[in-house]
Every structure is written in C-alpha cells, then in structure tokens.
Amino acid sequence: MHCLTTTFLPIKLLTFITRQQERIRILEDEIIRFKKLNLKPDIRPNTKPSDSRGDDGNSRSIDYGQ
C-alpha cells in the first residue's frame, strides 16, 4: 500500500504542473496579443476652418444680457 501512495503523489503533481504550464502558455499568448493591439483610437486633428455660423447659415451671437 505504501508504494501506491508514493506513486500517486508524483502523478498528481505532474498533472498539476502540466495544467499550470498550459495555463501559462495561454496567458503568455494573450499578453502577446494585447501588446500588438493599438489601444488608443486614431483621432486625427480637425483640419476644417472654424465657422461661427450655425446650421441655418445665420451668424451666432451670444447674448450676455447686457
């Protein structure tokens, strides 16, 4: 009976190590994939000249109540 318990523990450890290695490989692949992603959006500056007119073509003025 002693031989059964001494061989069972190494098999259990090998199974655990194998699972851990697979999980590490998956996480390393995920890290590589994330590093290749461009996380910031590509926002280009506005090149159109600013226009003080509204959509209806009328000039906008701000009424400060004066």
Reply yes or no on whether the pLDDT at 66 is more than 60: no
pTM: 0.47
Using pLDDT thresholds of 50, 70 and 90, give the confidence band for residue 21: very high
Burial 24-44 (b: 16+ CB within 10 A, else e): eeeeeeeeeeeeeeeeeeeee
Q: What is the mean pLDDT of the chain?
A: 78
Provide the CA 10 distance to its chain's centre, in angstroms: 38
Reply yes or no on whether the pLDDT at 58 is more than 90: no
Please check whether residue 25 is in contact with residue 17, taking contact to mean a CB–CB distance below 8 angstroms: no
Please check whether residue 60 is in contact with residue 54, taking contact to mean a CB–CB distance below 8 angstroms: yes
Average pLDDT, stretch 10-35? 94
d(CA 15, CA 25): 16
